[in-house]
Chain A
Amino acid sequence: MSIWEYANPVKFMRASGAILPWAVAGAVACTLGGVAWGFLTPDDYRQGATVKIVFLHVPAAMMAINIWVMMLAASLIWLIRRHHVSALAARAAAPIGAVMTLIALATGAIWGQPMWGTWWEWDPRLTSFLILFLFYAGYIALWSAIEDPDSAADLTGVLCLVGSVFALLSRYAVLFWNQGLHQGASLSVAPGERMSAVYRYPLYLSMLGFLLLFLALLLIRTRTEIRRRRLAALIARETRP
């Protein structure tokens, strides 16, 4: 049995219905656990208590990018293999990604105020996330503007492809434009730059929590989309000439 079997709406509904409670439970446990554990960690010697927002900021930022990558993959699957559930999953993921981007921007501003003395700085990372949010906004607006679901799926798929290239291009253009004051990657494989383990493990838990949170929300939203399409299909069948 191949993984493409789950592209069948009926099979997807059955499988996702079975996974959903576990995903929700895992998301709640890991997110709350990770954040709570994070708040019990000692203060950083330089950044003080403000560092604790990292347990929301970094997972949200990570998901903001990963969700776009997931949308790109789903769009490619739709454009190449024409699996309808894939297109609906991409549509369902976009608002989650936009909210994650907003969370990353908002927590970054709240963290930046005490650290840098400003709510907003045109730093490359901040700017790139703002641009990413604009891409999410355009993608969501296009989905909701087109009535015919088949055209909407195809056009948003093409937009996602082109948008991905330009989101990446913008990232490098912005680096060229301004070098910025954001700290380096929070999690790095290079030795000596790593976060202390005290912070790292709660962060891992929180990241897992956000991943599960995305999975749970994605399943709920995709199931809603499928039901909505099913309703539209039944109406279309009844009202055809």
Chain B
Amino acid sequence: MAGLKEIKNKINSVNKTRKVTRAMEAVSAVKMRKSQEHTLSARAYARSAVRILAQVSSVVEFGKHPLVAKQATGPTAVVLVTSDKGLAGSLNSAVLKLAEQFVANKDENKGGIKWICIGKRGLDWVERRGYEVVHSISNISDDVTEEEMREVTNLITALKEGGEVRKVNIIYTNFKSTFEQEAVMRRVLPLSYGALNDIVQGILPSKGKWADAEDSKGNKQIADYKMEPDRESLLVEVLPRLVNILVFHTLLENKASEHSARMVAMKNATDKAGEVGMLLKRKFNKARQATITAEIGEITSGLEAMK
């Protein structure tokens, strides 16, 4: 049987771990509330933006705009949205699993992959495998603004416009609820009505007070739009902005998912630490009782011997 001292040490260390995870749980809970609110209120905006984007791209499909035009050859750019820090359950591993599947799918990625990483976890993963990283940003604050994502948007639109990549995919985590997040991969560029409409459908939460299916119903494909000012200058301004909102939206979703996943993971860790602590305590008591019994045994047998 392990010594009393050792068990005592173990109990102490478990209790300390429990304190740490509990503190992290509390911190994550606050962050989670904030970023969920942020994400959910931006959803209506993002949904409208992506819907407009879908409509516009169905119209310009004939216009051969470089962001809409399909290209047969060339590499694929993948934007990998992950968190900067770990301890968030299966959040990042789910995203990276999708990335891995994409790498393994030779039909989809013929021509090679260029990686753009948002968040350190994804960057580590890509670098460890020695893949080509075009750009990376990390340490993004929770109050990220739309403008900050410009960097990424400009890069992917420039890559596509310059014909350097065939398409641009984005892998991120879609926030469903505190207990449910889903890693998804979407095609951003070339813009197409079908792919974008899928994103619009994905933005609808499955339940909760923001779950109104209203918006998706009215999305009939419009044959043609009048554009003001002229088509060319409008597209130059509007397309990048709408793509930016799309990228920004994925980041917000990821933030909300990250904090929710971490909160839940830390809660589980705290509960488990409590359980382990209790078992150790029981073991400690048993061990102490055993020592006392042994001591009493020795004393009484000593007494017997002296008679």
Partners in one complex: no
Binding site for B on A (CB under 8 A): none
Binding site for A on B (CB under 8 A): none
